Amino acid sequence: MMHGILMISALAALPLSATAQEVVTQGTEVRLPEPRRGLLPDMVIPRPAMWGDDLPTVPEGYTITPIATDLAIPRQTLVLPNGDILVAEGKGQGAPALRPKDIIAGFIKALGKSPVSGGNRLTLLRDADGDGAYEMQGVFADGLNSPYGLAQIGNFIYVANQDAVVRFDYTEGQTQASGPPVTLTDLPKAINHHWTKAMTASADGRFLYVGIGSNSNITERGMEAEEDRAMIWQIDAQTGAHRPYATGLRNPTALAIQPGSGQLWSVVNERDEIGPDLVPDYLTAVQEGGFYGWPFSYWGQTVDPRAQPQNPGLVAEAITPDYALGAHVAALGVAFSDPVMGGAFAEGAFVGMHGSWNRSDPVGYKVVFVPFRDGRPAGDPVDFVSGFLVDAGNTRGRPVGVTLDPRGALIVADDLSNTVWRITPDQP
């Protein structure tokens, strides 16, 4: 152990056929290395550090402020029409280990998490006078089951627990739920290797889209355990009737509707244990009926031989994602921007990166901005909120959900320091 890092190096690693100069794992033009496998993957997790008097780093001309602290594992946020902010707080159940390496990986991952118990609640934040200081912080609803995804349609607040989508009646200005939630539809919950259930509402309010992650890294529990997993459901917001909307997405961790087009987009966490530069997590428009490769292939038709039996027919249909975010950055948040955020950040998407564990050189631990042009990603990602990662051995925060406040702010949930941050342009 050195400098607070607990690291296990890969054994019997195979050499890469591509040079470091040729490997590109971010952007629209991707060049991937050959997979590299060993008895154990590289595993490093930065330990929690304190902020003290420091703040995260934002671009010149922007200000960042903590608007809520001492939360209980804030994951995703929702800005309501009156400017109130709902915060989903929860920790998830985790899944039983299958192999010795799972036990080791679980121990290492736990070193980079907050020791606070998950709140299993929604907290409401209110800035009554509009000065940017949220003087009210109270529980809107509790007794939930690891809530994650949030959406509002009309007079309902929808919450994606780890086991079901539920809804609350809602009247603008309400500070507490008026009664217990009503279950709209159950969600796959057996094992819950990936427990988070991302959610967004369609532009017309007819449907909810819910991301359901796989039950393994690469089918270690068998294909039976993957029924209704690694996909996005489309759910009728009135009846709860649902169907697969897109499949082959290993872990769709955040969803957003693109303004104007109404197109559904997702960030997706890809598979592990085949090297530090494989496989890139990604941002993509989600095509109805589309298949995105997992478990049989990645980044389009690149076959992963670990998934058995193979399915060449599905591999031939696999869609290449729109934009690579980098391998193991653990993207957990996405929000489309607006001109209120300033010219350089007017068109594009903000992505919250929780940070890596499956590589020796930590990556992620920041919020980036992916510029768009004509409705599509165009250009390299730009750091928008950084400074969480002190060094390879310590980090002061881990961004999760990102949400645009249409009044001119980006809201960021940080589940390590248990803080909600607000970033605003200095010139409206």
**Residue-wise pLDDT tens digits, 347-364:** 999 999 999 987 889 999
CA distance 198 to 253: 5
**Residue-wise pLDDT tens digits, 331-343:** 999 999 999 999 9
DSSP summary character for residue 43: B
Contact residues for 279 (Cβ-Cβ < 8 A; gap 6+)? 32, 270, 271, 298, 299, 327
Give the model's confidence band at 112: pLDDT under 50 very low, under 70 low, under 90 confident, else very high.
confident
CA distance 149 to 87: 10
Q: Is the peptide bond before 309 cis (omega within 30 degrees of 0)?
A: yes
Identify the architecture of domain 26-425 in CATH. 6 Propeller (2.120)
Long-range contacts of 9-12 (CB under 8 A, 24+ apart): 9/40, 9/42, 9/360, 10/36, 10/37, 10/38, 10/39, 10/40, 10/41, 10/42, 11/38, 11/39, 11/40, 12/38, 12/39
Rounded to an integer, the average pLDDT of 306-321 is 97
pLDDT of residue 96: 79
Task: Say yes or no to pLDDT of 10 above 80.
Answer: no
Contact 214, 226 (CB under 8 A): yes
- Would strands 394-395 and 47-48 be described as parallel, antiparallel, or unpaired? parallel
The domain locations on the chain are 26-425
φ, ψ of residue 250 in degrees (nearest 5) = -55, -50
